[in-house]
A and B are shown apart, each in its own frame.
Chain A
Amino acid sequence: MSEKLKPAKLLVIASKAGRVTKRYPYDEPLLSPDFRGKITIDENLCIGCGACVNACPPNALQLMKDKDTVVLRYFVGRCIFCWRCVDVCPVGAIKGLREFELATNDISDLYVHVVHKKAKCEKCEGEGATQRMLYYVVQKSPIVEEYLNECPDCRRKSFIDSVVKRRTGGVSE
């Protein structure tokens, strides 16, 4: 008899468990303290180095370059919320949020753009890294000042020139 009545024990379990569904928009959502949501980029800290772009698995972060500017673009639609960018950012400009309600009817809400000025080369008008990154590098390890305002190509050239000068004693043929 008891074996046959066993299925009815579910009634006891159900009344003990009660109602478990969250009345979500009215109640607090069921979120753990460590939940990974979307990220935010601090425009004042970002140096445009592209470390986050290299680490991002789904290409949600992209560097777009044109003549004078470098734009770091974050597209929430591609983001997988892994927070690798938070791990690798050298200046702590990227922070993770617990935000997860990302639906919108305006697609521009899904993009974040951080615009950087490119450092101009003194000699050839060519391009180098962003200005902020140059300052960052100088702060971290002071380098020879005279090359600072040059693009990588010109820097290489002037280095070779200085070696040649030293060899020939400053006298060219």
Chain B
Amino acid sequence: MTLYAFFGAIEQGFAYGLMVIGVYLTFRVLDFPDLTVDGSLPLGAAVSAVAITSGYSPLLAIFMAAGAGFMAGAATGILNTKFKILHLLASILTMIALYSINLRIMGRPNMALLGQDTVVDWFIDFTNMLPQHSSPLLFGLICFAVVIVLIWFLHTEIGLAFLATGDNKQMITSQGVNTDNVIIFGVGLSNALVAASGALVAQNQGAADVNMGVGTIVAGLASVIIGETVFGDKTIGRALIAALLGSVLYRIAIGLALGLKLGSFAITPSDLNLITAILVVFALVMPKMKRQFMAGRSK
């Protein structure tokens, strides 16, 4: 893996970092498997692309994307809580609806941002660094800022209700908290983060594409689980940072798979998904094997 590829993996890890944190919030905190993300990631990209091409600032475009993502997530939450549709199905419904909505928003399947000013360009100009260093730094700073705000939020009264809803719904209902509203807000918040991530990704890769959401949930879950396994999840703050770093490790695994050359042994680029899966399994199993090994030695 070259240095460029390594920085590229970190950049991708942080660009999708907000998405992974969003997936962590629904999947682990709310106990809500949310497939909306496959639609809200391109939604964020689409909204920010349209905003930028109509002359809004790229920074404002990210907040607009987050707002749209919040609405998409809230829609899933409402379908689940108010209409009693199973969470998985509710999120699939929103996801497929978003495909058409995203096409409507952009008016076409692929909207180019090449030649437009983006937050990435701003940051490059501001720091005067090489692009391959400045964009991972920018996305990293954004992710850590969001993590700090989230840690603060999850220690407020609403935040604690939010944490408790996923743990024990009955207990928190008996405390007088409306769990429906917490779920709607929570899935909304999660998808706001996912859409913001989509906006960053679109600004970084130079285009918003209606198909860019495919596989988001898989990448998100893999990142969350890798983060947990490698960095632990004792406190909520540690779990959030673990999810974020899990995203980076996941992209490094893909980077390794992309650069893998074993002499004449016939590994071709078409094996990428398989190799990535094997590397992720390896990352998941390693810490456990290490623990067993240590336990065995101390006997």
A binds B: no
Residues of B with Cβ closer than 8 Å to A? none
Residues of A with Cβ closer than 8 Å to B? none
